[in-house]
Amino acid sequence: MKKARFIYGSIWIIFFLLFLFVAGCSKKVPPKTADQVVKDVAQGLAAHQPQVLWGALPASYQKDIHGLVHDFAAKTDKELWNKSFALFNKVLLVLKTKKNLLMAGKMLNDAPIDAKKLSDNWDGVLGMAEVITKSELADLEKLKHLDVGKFLSGTGADLIKRLDALSKLEKDEKFATAFTQLKTVNTTVIQSQKDAATVKIEVPKEVSWEIAFVKVEEKWVPKSLADQWKTEIEKAKKELAEFSTTFTAEEKQRVLGVMTSIDGILDQMLAAKTVKELESTLGQALGMVLGMALGKG
């Protein structure tokens, strides 16, 4: 099952690398100073424009990311990928149509969670999940040719807008005002040379820190990122190279069998009319997941 775990883990590695750029990316026209880089990123994210991250990356970095994303899509089993997203969509349908039964049930009420907060955020979280299931990520053919910049300006912008709206429902003021605080970021160059600089970044009344930047292909990036870039990309490429383009017939059938079982349980949940019926079926699903987890251990 190592290959199965790799399929679902690799994509998060790829997009985690993308978001390492937050501190060091800017608009398409490189700013003259490193402090303006940070300012532009903060302002761009505050305006729900995550594409500023991509537009400022060195061309070679963009090429590396595109290569990883496209190679990942080419090496992923299409049938398993499609069925995974079909299950994801059905889970969302259950959560959307059975919210009242779930919220009235013993399982959620006995869980160590804030039921009211969960209820208030329910639709917002589902909306964000649906953005993903309807995006280019759900289609391997599109993923093989994904333009990350366009993805961030479309799906990425939609997700950030929804996250901003969701954050405003939070009672925690720091989280609720996170996007507003981005507009207040102050930056100061502490020291600067031709291709290196140190920038002090301050969020008024909150936090401040210093980051070293270097120029790579005329784009300012954090020095720590530049130092680790080649190593991390090579590591990701090595993992992809070791990843077989197909499962063995036995492995694939095992995974498909589990998916079929989960699909059947979800159908039962959709058909449930009472809290008892729903929780009984949900218990079966949790038992299956626990059994799979113990089996892997």
44-92, pLDDT tens digit by residue?
988 999 998 888 799 999 999 999 999 999 999 999 999 999 999 999 9
Instruction: Find where tokens 């063995």 sit.
Output: 248
Select the more confidently predicted residue: 55 or 29.
55
**Residue 286 CA, distance from chain mean position:** 24
- Average pLDDT across the chain, whole number: 84
pLDDT digit string (tens) for 211-264?
999 999 999 999 999 999 999 999 999 988 887 655 688 888 988 998 999 999
Q: Under DSSP, is residue 208 helix (H, G, I), strand (E, B) or coil?
A: strand
Beta strands in the chain (DSSP E): 186-192, 196-203, 207-216, 219-222
pLDDT at 245: 56
Backbone angles phi, psi at 70, to 5 degrees: -65, -40
Tell me what percent of the residues of the chain surpass a pLDDT of 70. 82
Report how far residue 139's alpha carbon sits from residue 155's, in angstroms, rounded to the nearest whole number: 14
> Is the pLDDT reported for residue 290 higher than 80?
no
Of 50-54, 128-132, 136-140, least confident by mean pLDDT is 50-54
Q: Crossing angle, helix 2-19 and helix 223-242, to 10 degrees? A: 160
Q: Per-residue b/e over 182-194, b at no fewer than 16 CB within 10 Å?
A: beebebeeeeeee
- Is the pLDDT assigned to residue 294 strictly greater than 50? yes
Spatial neighbors of 66 by CB under 8 A, at least 6 apart, are 146, 147, 148
Given a cut of 70, is residue 143 above it in pLDDT?
yes
Q: How does residue 291 score in pLDDT terms, banded at 50, 70 and 90?
A: low
Region 191-207: what's the mean pLDDT? Answer: 90
186-192/196-203 β-pairing: antiparallel
What is the average pLDDT across 189-203?
Answer: 93
- On the question of pLDDT at 295 being above 80, the answer is no
22 against 155, higher pLDDT: 155
pLDDT at 5 over 80: no
Angle, vertex CA 262, rays to CA 97 and CA 8, nearest 5: 100
Burial of 252 (0-12, 13-18, 19+ CB in 10 A): middle
What's the confidence (pLDDT) of residue 243?
74
Q: What is the pLDDT of residue 141?
A: 96
d(CA 36, CA 188): 9
C-alpha distances (whole Å) from 99 to each of 66, 68, 118 are 39, 38, 11
What is the amino acid identity at position 25?
C
d(CA 35, CA 99): 47
pLDDT of residue 244: 62
Torsion of CA 24, 143, 69, 259, to 10 degrees: 120
The mean per-residue pLDDT over the stretch 162-169 comes to 82
Question: HEC states along 217-265?
Answer: CCEEEEHHHHHHHHHHHHHHHHHHHHCCCCCCHHHHHHHHHHHHHHHHH
Q: Indicate whether 173 pLDDT > 90.
A: no
Q: Is the pLDDT of residue 129 over 50?
A: yes
